[in-house]
Structure 1
Amino acid sequence: MTLHIFNPEHDIALAANLENFTSPHAGRQLRYELGYLPALWASADDVVLVDDVHEAEKNFQMFRTYVKRMGLRNNNLPSAHFVTKRELASLTEVCRAEPWGWDLAVRTMLVKNGISGTILPSISDVENVRQLSHRRITAQMLPLMQTEGTLGEAHEFFDSESLRSWQQSRGTVVVKAPWSSSGRGVRFFKDIAWNVNQEGWLNNVLKHQGSVMAEPYYNKVKDFAMEFECRAGKVSYCGLSLFDTSNGAYTGNILATEKAKEQMICRYVAEAYLHEIKEKAIIALEQLLATDYEGPLGIDMMIVNDGEDGLKLHPCVEVNLRRTMGHVALCLSELCNPDHDDEWVRVMRNQGTGLKLRLL
């Protein structure tokens, strides 16, 4: 039996690195409303930890009904066994735990509520995941993924003066906190004369996280990602994730067959080129982290308009060492696609009390 946990506050918990971490309200609300999500990939004998069993059952049933109303086949949608923290100590058959992402807070919560530490990663293992989740992994990945037609660079800075000196030759740059959630912890520095808010944010991140990552600003044309899974030191490819963002925050995923998604991306890059990047990503991931990480992960990428040089691919904007909404979209595409029609495309969005699908 595997215990599944949806802990969407994971990225913020990594930054805090506390055993007793209280998620911001938005994270708690998301966990309450979408706590049923792991039921989509859990096996029949597994259990899913939720805040409220009644709420999870209601929201999961609402989603199943919504899928049916959209005219999609939903007989593949699994049933689910939801539990709360109060029941964890009695679940003696649990032999594995799989959260959205591993951090010190989720491990501590499981131990405090009766899950044996012998089936969990050790504290040092969790710290290894945290260090690998530092955004410097992007700077390490990029040289291993570059090929003709790619661009991208990322640099780590430990003080404001070295960052300012580097920015002078770059103009607008994107500065990122080492650990932060999607759309947060990112600032655009456009002028050499930084304002008070920029100075304050930068100094605060340097004080609490030790460094910042910075990269040139690119003229983005299209966001997408490649999703992977790492097991026993080997990395396998799961599929493409085509998603939308607003002000850097995730807003929705396209649900489609792999062929249809490839066709969308191949409007910008050649298919053979896309496959080359995938193979380079697998090699780089196995080289840098496969011995220290087990579970799902994703690499955010983007198509960039590089002016006179035309469209180029940034092969590694971010590495997410956790499950992503891209993995959820892949799971839903497999569960809900009735005919495996290459033109079957819908958009998944988080709206209110659950996931919603709508026609493109």
Structure 2
Amino acid sequence: MASRLFYFNPTCEMAVLNGSRTYTPPRNLRDFEKELSLIPMWLASAEDIVITEKGCSADFIDTIRNWGVQPPQFLLFSEGGADSIRNIGTSSVLYGDTKGAANLPEDCAEETLAADDISHLRKNRACLSAGSGIELHPWGWSPAVHRKLEPFKASNWDHPMAEWKEDHKLLLSRFTCNELLGAIYEEAKSLSLIEIPSIPIEIRTLDELRRAEAEEELPLLLKTPWSASGRGLFRIRSRAENAAGNSWVLGKLRQHGALLAEPMLDKLLDLSFHYWSGPDGIEFRGINLFNTDPAGQFEGCLVNPRKVVVPEGFPFDEAVEQAISLLLRGLQSIDLHHRYHGPVGIDALIYRNKDGQVKLHPAIEINLRYTMGLVNLRLADKISPQSGGSWIIKRLKVSEWQNLVRNNPPQLRHGLFYSGVFHLTPPPETEGFMAILTLEGQ
């Protein structure tokens, strides 16, 4: 079985919009990517590989091993990408300090590989995998990540995303959600707990924007086609908003070539549905509950929620079952598995409609990439069923993290995470982003 090679590039939508193979995100987002680059380790097995551009201490690896987690293998990219790759072999390496490379087999010692020696990683993967090949699993596809991972591509790789094509840009946008909604819209009308108020309208000119602001029911939400996680949004709450005169809106319309407009809903709960698209079709993987901030941006995921907070009497489980089947049929009808292989995350929400009824909107966004929701589903196997909580991504000073863990030390029960705080990515050396899981046992 082939090993999987993971790479965390959450700015993939920005890279798709940019279109350049040499795209580099703004400095603050590069720091975000580097500091959280080990997030995919929670998706990986011991035989897999996670690329990182920022090292971590041996203490981090030793700690997660003590929690009963077998980490994957790691590969350290330099700033130059594929031009200089450090093969750091097994996960026992102390990043950035060759003294920490104890217990490595002699032929797995740290080394720097020139671009023309990258074939070493394919021909002799004793340090990387026992498999016969490597499957590429970036967080999301873009022209830039194709260039980044080019050294690892097999020449005969049979995959819809094996080479970047122009139509991939449209596929990896919010227009695909419109396509899915068009496929399920009529059937959804026959389901008692599902409601799709409308299919988002496409706005490509200033006249269309003015018309939408003047004629569509308010409040109205504008979305850029290439953005995600609650970003790229503009809310029109009144006719006096003058979105057509707003510099942010005008700039995004020029940059993206279009905007999507849909009704703002009275949200009660965020959730997501997760599928896998492969050569044999579409497979359901699970649902996830998550939190967003007041602006709608992703904050973190709920873990083993003991009670789903929806109005009393709303049949949550039945509504979810209706949505799972509906979305599966929709994904099959748009032939997604012939165009894309990989994770499919569909953001949804439970809301109160204008008649005061509680309904489930099954598809607010579709993400053809890895998501934090899928990470949360994989984490569930490591968490005690008697525990509940959440995990978040937060920027912290190292002293703040130390106080957190001192006051809430991680506790295991029967080999599973039970209570306290757990670092899911390495703590910052001074200050930076990290993923923190907080649990409370019964």
Work out the CA distance in 2 between the residues paired with 1:141 and 1:273.
Answer: 18
Instruction: Give deviations 1:11-53, integer Å, cap 9, x for gaps.
Output: 221221211111123322222222112222223222111003x
Instruction: Give deviations 1:290-324, integer Å, cap 9, x for gaps.
Output: 21010011111111112433211111110011110
Write out aligned runs for 1:325-344 (5 A).
Answer: 325-334=372-381, 336-338=382-384, 340-341=385-386, 344=387
Instruction: Give deviations 1:331-354, integer Å, cap 9, x for gaps.
Output: 1111x223x34xx32201113443
1:80 partner letter = P
Paired residue for 1:168, among 214, 227, 235?
A: 214
* Bigger helix fraction: 1
Write out aligned runs for 1:106-255 (5 A).
Answer: 106-111=145-150, 113=151, 115-116=153-154, 118-119=156-157, 121-125=161-165, 127-143=166-182, 144=184, 146=188, 147-149=191-193, 150-153=195-198, 154-169=200-215, 170-195=217-242, 199-246=246-293, 247-255=295-303
- TM-score of the two chains, using structure 2 as the length reference: 0.70
Instruction: Give deviations 1:246-276, integer Å, cap 9, x for gaps.
Output: 122111101128xx57x55695444223211
- The range that moved more, 272-281 or 37-46, is 37-46
Question: Are the structure 2 counterparts of residues 177 and 78 from structure 1 closer, same or farther at C-alpha, using a change threshold of 3 Å?
Answer: same
- The range that moved more, 42-51 or 295-304, is 42-51
The 8 Å contact of residues 346 and 364 in structure 2, kept in 1 or not, is answered as yes
The SS at the match of 1:168 is helix
Q: Do residues 356 (structure 1) and 436 (structure 2) align?
A: yes
Instruction: Give deviations 1:192-237, integer Å, cap 9, x for gaps.
Output: 3444895322332232222111001111111111111111141111
Tell me the matched-pair count: 341
Shift in Å, 1:190: 2.4
The SS at the match of 1:98 is strand
The 8 Å contact of residues 4 and 49 in structure 2, kept in 1 or not, is answered as yes
- Matched residue, 2:390: 347
Question: Are the structure 2 counterparts of residues 315 and 181 from structure 1 closer, same or farther at C-alpha, using a change threshold of 3 Å?
Answer: closer
Question: Are the structure 2 counterparts of residues 130 and 80 from structure 1 closer, same or farther at C-alpha, using a change threshold of 3 Å?
Answer: same
Work out the CA distance in 1 between the residues paired with 2:143 and 2:221.
Answer: 28
The 8 Å contact of residues 244 and 251 in structure 1, kept in 2 or not, is answered as yes
Work out the CA distance in 2 between the residues paired with 1:58 and 1:29.
Answer: 22
- Matched residue, 2:332: 286
Gaps of 5+ in 1: 69-73
Identity rate, percent = 24
- TM-score of the two chains, using structure 1 as the length reference: 0.85
- Matched residue, 2:104: none
Question: Are the structure 2 counterparts of residues 316 and 57 from structure 1 closer, same or farther at C-alpha, using a change threshold of 3 Å?
Answer: farther
Question: Are the structure 2 counterparts of residues 57 and 256 from structure 1 closer, same or farther at C-alpha, using a change threshold of 3 Å?
Answer: farther
- Matched residue, 1:78: 70
- Matched residue, 2:121: 91
Gaps of 5+ in 2: 78-84, 88-117, 126-132, 396-426, 428-433
* Bigger strand fraction: 2
The 8 Å contact of residues 172 and 190 in structure 1, kept in 2 or not, is answered as yes
Shift in Å, 1:95: 2.7
The 8 Å contact of residues 45 and 71 in structure 2, kept in 1 or not, is answered as no
